[in-house]
């Protein structure tokens, strides 16, 4: 992300508590719009994750936590921010309604979407400049098959659909009509103290499965990510 966003109109997609929206404002953006979906029941989660009995308590907590975007509102008040927050799905972005933006940030959202390429297409539709796109990826296939775009479909009892390797993520971006200008390598986002961290002996027992290997990586290093800076073709 550019260090200086002076005069830019910016968009934060899937803002959650607004970290990147407020950061873009801090970097001088003329205006920042942040979008997210307030009601967890409207999130594009796999049906078993969204409506399964085992997740009923978690959804109740999330609905209470997200109601009124409490954490975002608290931060906005504390910072004296003028960021505008809109209850809007990435699928509903429309240049006729929302206009276009000079800089768009989208981070760690695509894995939660059934149709990530469609979401990227909607982002491209409102992108009048550049987009910074960062996403969670699978580590092992990113290392063993660095040039082959692949993705594992989860879509069951967890809150994510697709787990691409780094090449798969970049192919999603390109197939949605973006030209990739710059890309990072693989980096890890350490999990916080509240994030579930399975015991290593539990993770080792499931080493033969993709989810088991994923748990080990998360437990030891954090969540693997990669990012690109891109602009719409044409």
For the residues of 44-59, what is the DSSP string, one character each?
Answer: ---HHHHH-GGGHHHH
What is the residue range of 142's domain? Answer: 9-189+223-232
Q: What is the token pair recorded at 80? A: 């004296």
For residue 169, give the nearest of 121, 233, 116 by alpha carbon: 116
pLDDT at 77 exceeding the cut of 70: yes
Supply the pLDDT for residue 158.
81
Let me know if 219 is exposed, middle or buried by CB neighbors in 10 A (0-12, 13-18, 19+).
middle
Region for residue 28 given its phi and psi (left: phi exceeds 0; alpha: psi -120 to 50; beta: otherwise): left
Asked if residue 208 is part of any domain, the answer here is no
Q: Residue 7: phi, psi to the nearest 5?
A: 80, 0
Asked if residue 215 is part of any domain, the answer here is no
For 25-76, the pLDDT digits (tens) are: 999 999 999 999 988 888 898 888 766 655 666 666 666 655 547 889 999 9
Asked if residue 106 is part of any domain, the answer here is yes
Asked if residue 200 is part of any domain, the answer here is no
Alpha helices in the chain, H assignment, sequence order = 19-26, 47-51, 56-66, 70-79, 95-98, 116-125, 139-144, 166-175, 200-205, 210-220
Supply the pLDDT for residue 57.
61
Q: Cα dihedral angle (101, 103, 151, 225), rounded to 10 degrees? A: -150
Neighbours of 83 (CB within 10 A): 21
Q: What is the token pair recorded at 185? A: 């390598």
CATH, residue 140: 3.40.50.150
**pTM score, whole prediction:** 0.88
Average the pLDDT over each of 44-48, 103-107, 141-145, 171-175 and give the range with the smallest value. 44-48
Asked if residue 218 is part of any domain, the answer here is no
136, containing H or E segment = strand 127-136
Asked if residue 212 is part of any domain, the answer here is no
Number of domains in the chain: 1
Asked if residue 195 is part of any domain, the answer here is no
Cβ(121)–Cβ(208) below 8 Å: no
Cβ(35)–Cβ(14) below 8 Å: yes
- For the chain, percent of residues with pLDDT exceeding 90: 68
């Amino acid at each position: 992300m550019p260090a200086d966003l002076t005069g830019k109109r910016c968009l934060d997609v899937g803002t959650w508590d607004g970290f990147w929206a407020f950061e873009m404002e801090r970097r001088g953006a003329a205006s920042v719009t942040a979008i997210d979906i307030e009601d967890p029941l409207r999130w594009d989660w796999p049906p078993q994750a969204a409506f399964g009995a085992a997740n009923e308590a978690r959804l109740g907590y999330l609905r209470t936590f997200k109601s009124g975007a409490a954490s975002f509102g608290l931060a906005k008040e504390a910072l004296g921010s003028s960021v505008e927050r809109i209850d809007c799905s990435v699928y509903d972005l429309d240049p006729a309604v929302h206009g276009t933006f000079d800089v768009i940030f989208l981070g760690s959202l695509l894995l939660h979407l059934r149709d990530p390429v469609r979401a990227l297409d909607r982002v491209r539709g409102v992108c009048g400049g550049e987009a910074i796109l960062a996403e969670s990826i699978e580590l092992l296939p990113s290392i063993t098959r660095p040039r082959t775009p692949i993705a594992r479909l989860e879509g069951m009892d967890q809150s994510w659909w697709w787990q691409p390797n780094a090449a798969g993520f970049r192919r999603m971006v390109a197939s949605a009509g973006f030209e990739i200008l710059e890309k990072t390598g693989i980096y890890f986002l350490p999990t916080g103290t509240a994030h579930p961290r399975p015991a290593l002996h539990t993770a080792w027992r499931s080493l033969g499965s993709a989810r088991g290997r994923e748990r080990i990586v998360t437990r030891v290093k954090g969540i693997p990510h990669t990012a690109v800076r891109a602009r719409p073709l044409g």
